[in-house]
Structure 1
């Protein structure tokens, strides 16, 4: 069981629930409460089952907890009012013979140990007193309904570390909602509880105690002891008359002197906590599942937006869209389109033989065409990257988790990255250089031919780009004939030098390389969204770790001898 619970604690600590989804606050609170209880109580108690019985005195503001603790001990060990919002240091009173159990970090390891009264918040004041019998310790906790959240949190943590709750309320506060929320929680996990009805006027004792007993019975605390402390004057030391607390003191002393009774209380509380840990773990596992689902949806929304952009760029790079405007004008300058198209219509074989003679001013025009292609591709990338960013941002803002996540970054993810234009320019130039290398490598054994010399590497490279850009002939309207003819011309120029099979292979390679480079650019853009999700540390394995741990706990419990 210890090994299983250690693994469960590790899984709970890994079970981050960062996304703001319905019911997540309850799951977060439950997860942290279980981690605290495993560290503060369950594991220490399982490992050292023979440790003294820890009785935590908790309750509402003004119920008289500190006065009761002092009166039970018979001396002033904790200052009434010391736990006001100005301090949050609980006080633990134990027999000197039991010091070894409490001086270290066995229980409540996150609280610093101190001997000073009124210590800094987050400290545990240790008080050794012979008035406490060996085998028993009493801890004075902050108010469960304190005006300060840190006090309330600490009070809940201390009660979660108790073998026995000594819950103090008053005639004026016994029906309040907050105390009963704690008591109901104790009943649900079968924790050992004793209730003290403090500061009660003698004439009201019968009526109030009868009503309180009925409330206890209705909420599963029928067998819990109920002690009455009447309203009375305190002495100069701030202690109640010994007779007022005699019954409680005697009951605690009898527990301290009866090892079997102490063990029974410890087992009752410990078994109840472990049982509810199993049940509550499944709820946290469900919350982890929801986190993974929402995270996956957000990731798919972002990836889908940029995948759509990549497909649009790929389509535009092959359907003739780029063979418009500046690119088309520069291409016409390069090849003298009118003459070549006329020649193609009359006799294709003739153009293969005479194509080099039709190319005009090739070096200068090739450079202009290269620049036009570069500008056209950059514009295409920016247009679709901006559209993808807008789509992804809109999808994320449609759910609360996405809106909250976008609010954690100073970058406006609805726009493309500021440096995208520079990166796109670099990527396009690198692609153009790669096309040059393809042509250069393919023509390594043809550099002496008249056609290769007439067109040159640059001329053949731009022809290959044009062939790639109009490979599907998707332009419509008046430009269809021009763009389609341009593609045919580019292809024929290349075939005149390399042959038709080599041209098809070169065009496929160039298009695939361009698509890959565009994909890398958009992946970088999409990664801005993915990085926000990655930083959350949402684990896809922790859900099953939690469920497996809970099932194992149940298996061990059910297989244990009665």
Structure 2
């Protein structure tokens, strides 16, 4: 197989897929998220180890990975294929702790660099000039070198194909199992070794089914088969392969036989498999067909994985939206309750009411207002000029009361949002041991500062409204603080709809402030001032509560991930690529 102009766009697509998968973040603890993360890691590894290297080097020799169950005789089989001991075989498990890649000397350049299996470092091995028993052949690696690949050049390996002796797929070592899966995923074809009494084991069959999904060429070696059971066992295994979509797999039977003094099988036992591999190596067009078939099948399987990653990312976004909605709903409800508390007269009770009544006086204030607005203005003006402190006390009482309402509703919202998140596994994971119920540190001070800022803006409204020549003398005579206190009282007695000013729970107390303002600015201006002040207060409360909810939303930042629609588009492009070959 030779490179052609079509490999360029294919590689560009595959590189984009690699970037997309690498950018896929699945931080939320959703059902299936662990499996999705593992599948993404496996897809990335296969891109690096096999798909991209094969597209970049379509002329490279085939890589035949020899894998199978513990004790199936893989290393002994490989030794038999080359005619002398090159890999370690023995009773101690795991035997194959380090993968050994056997290749013809002329093919060395294809494997010495990091073209294939780039995550494994290379160790150049040498063949012993004198034969060694299989138990002494090959390197004896320690655990620290399990991530390396031993390269052995041997003229007994036909040019055009390389053999890779992999660890056991069901090894007691988790690292070995992981490495075996990685090597099998990088294969152009599999030589899968099992035994007469273990061919139905679950672990090997999971891998064989994966091979079927990738349409990879598989040779199944049934090892150590007693002569009396050969026909029965072979027929049963062939039937199982057919049922699972692997009817095209070649089946080789290695009869039970004694090993010689060097631990070698009789040459005749492995001759059919050796001849089959030699025929593949000698047929350039056939090798190209095998590589193309495996590559296309692997790309098709990759498309399924990318599509699954897109769905997982979409599920994450949906779950994040639900959690964000829970937090926003809690604080939106809090903002609505604060707004309601500022317009239903509730704030005109207690300390605020007492300070306002101190400010406007007793029954004489109302009788003066009813008898003659001019006389009321004169009396109020003298009162404001002589004793400004009561107005300030009204402001302070309003600040304290309003602050208490805001803090209480913000704390309720924090409790609600924290509770909703803890009832959801994803939210529980995001919170961890942190308690976000109640309010954040410093919230009370921020609320007080915002209320004072609102009161300041309200005073500025009055000052601006009173700039006209006809009203300036009036508002100056009443005092800015007095008018401001009156406007706050009016704001807290307004009903929803802003169609008029009504008396709240404080009865005539609220209407006194209204009449005072109307005497200075006129009825329309009072309505406009109250509406503006209320909207300003509502906006400030919303900002305060949005800032509070942000401590929840900050934990939901998925902005670093990739758009699931991009992944879905890449999956479709991969299917077109696989179908075009």
TM-score of the superposed pair, with normalisation by structure 1: 0.89
For the structure 1 residues 319 and 253, does the alpha-carbon distance in structure 2 shift closer, same or farther, using more than 3 Å as the test?
same
**1:21 maps onto 2:42 in alignment:** no
Q: Give the C-alpha shift of residue 482 in structure 1.
A: 5.8
Matching residue within 164, 171, 174 for 1:146: 171
Answer yes or no: is the 8 Å Cα contact 2:297–2:578 preserved in 1.
no
Name the structure 1 match of 2:569.
548
Q: Give the C-alpha shift of residue 434 in structure 1.
A: 2.6
Answer yes or no: is the 8 Å Cα contact 1:353–1:496 preserved in 2.
no
Q: Give the C-alpha shift of residue 90 in structure 1.
A: 2.2
Q: Give the SS at the match of 1:193.
A: strand
Question: How many residue pairs align between the two structures?
Answer: 552
**1:216 maps onto 2:241 in alignment:** yes
Q: Give the C-alpha shift of residue 152 in structure 1.
A: 2.2
Name the structure 2 match of 1:163.
188
Name the structure 2 match of 1:58.
67
RMSD over aligned Cα, in angstroms? 2.9
Higher alpha-carbon deviation: 390-399 or 179-188 = 390-399
Name the structure 2 match of 1:487.
510
Q: Give the SS at the match of 1:322.
A: helix
Name the structure 1 match of 2:132.
none
For the structure 1 residues 80 and 58, does the alpha-carbon distance in structure 2 shift closer, same or farther, using more than 3 Å as the test?
same
Higher alpha-carbon deviation: 50-59 or 31-40 = 31-40
Q: Give the C-alpha shift of residue 558 in structure 1.
A: 4.2
Matching residue within 557, 561, 568 for 1:534: 557
**1:98 maps onto 2:121 in alignment:** no
Matching residue within 515, 532, 535 for 1:509: 532
For the structure 1 residues 361 and 206, does the alpha-carbon distance in structure 2 shift closer, same or farther, using more than 3 Å as the test?
farther
Looking at structure 2, the residues matched to 455 and 78 of structure 1 have their Cα atoms a distance apart, in angstroms, of 103
Name the structure 2 match of 1:201.
226
Q: Give the SS at the match of 2:346.
A: coil
Name the structure 1 match of 2:47.
38
Answer yes or no: is the 8 Å Cα contact 2:280–2:286 preserved in 1.
yes
Q: Give the C-alpha shift of residue 483 in structure 1.
A: 2.4
Looking at structure 2, the residues matched to 46 and 361 of structure 1 have their Cα atoms a distance apart, in angstroms, of 92
Map residues 178-197 of structure 1 onto 2, 5 A cutoff: 178-197=203-222
Answer yes or no: is the 8 Å Cα contact 2:28–2:430 preserved in 1.
yes
Looking at structure 2, the residues matched to 74 and 42 of structure 1 have their Cα atoms a distance apart, in angstroms, of 32
Q: Give the C-alpha shift of residue 211 in structure 1.
A: 1.7
For the structure 1 residues 559 and 126, does the alpha-carbon distance in structure 2 shift closer, same or farther, using more than 3 Å as the test?
closer
Q: Give the C-alpha shift of residue 557 in structure 1.
A: 4.3
Answer yes or no: is the 8 Å Cα contact 2:384–2:479 preserved in 1.
no
Map residues 166-315 of structure 1 onto 2, 5 A cutoff: 166-315=191-340
Q: Give the SS at the match of 1:194.
A: strand
Q: Give the C-alpha shift of residue 216 in structure 1.
A: 1.4
Q: Give the C-alpha shift of residue 484 in structure 1.
A: 4.3
Answer yes or no: is the 8 Å Cα contact 1:90–1:142 preserved in 2.
yes
For the structure 1 residues 414 and 448, does the alpha-carbon distance in structure 2 shift closer, same or farther, using more than 3 Å as the test?
closer
Name the structure 2 match of 1:472.
495
For the structure 1 residues 558 and 247, does the alpha-carbon distance in structure 2 shift closer, same or farther, using more than 3 Å as the test?
closer
Looking at structure 2, the residues matched to 327 and 361 of structure 1 have their Cα atoms a distance apart, in angstroms, of 21
Answer yes or no: is the 8 Å Cα contact 1:278–1:553 preserved in 2.
yes
Looking at structure 1, the residues matched to 18 and 150 of structure 2 have their Cα atoms a distance apart, in angstroms, of 27
Name the structure 1 match of 2:397.
372
Deviations 1:288-333 (A, max 9, x none): 3222222211111111111111111112122222111111111111
**1:320 maps onto 2:345 in alignment:** yes
For the structure 1 residues 335 and 89, does the alpha-carbon distance in structure 2 shift closer, same or farther, using more than 3 Å as the test?
farther
Name the structure 1 match of 2:450.
427
Looking at structure 2, the residues matched to 481 and 30 of structure 1 have their Cα atoms a distance apart, in angstroms, of 64
Answer yes or no: is the 8 Å Cα contact 1:27–1:283 preserved in 2.
yes
Name the structure 1 match of 2:434.
411
Q: Give the C-alpha shift of residue 281 in structure 1.
A: 3.3
Higher alpha-carbon deviation: 97-106 or 392-401 = 392-401
Looking at structure 2, the residues matched to 240 and 462 of structure 1 have their Cα atoms a distance apart, in angstroms, of 103
Question: Unpaired segments of 5 or more residues in structure 2?
Answer: 1-9, 126-138
Q: Give the SS at the match of 1:483.
A: coil
Q: Give the C-alpha shift of residue 380 in structure 1.
A: 0.9
Answer yes or no: is the 8 Å Cα contact 1:291–1:538 preserved in 2.
no
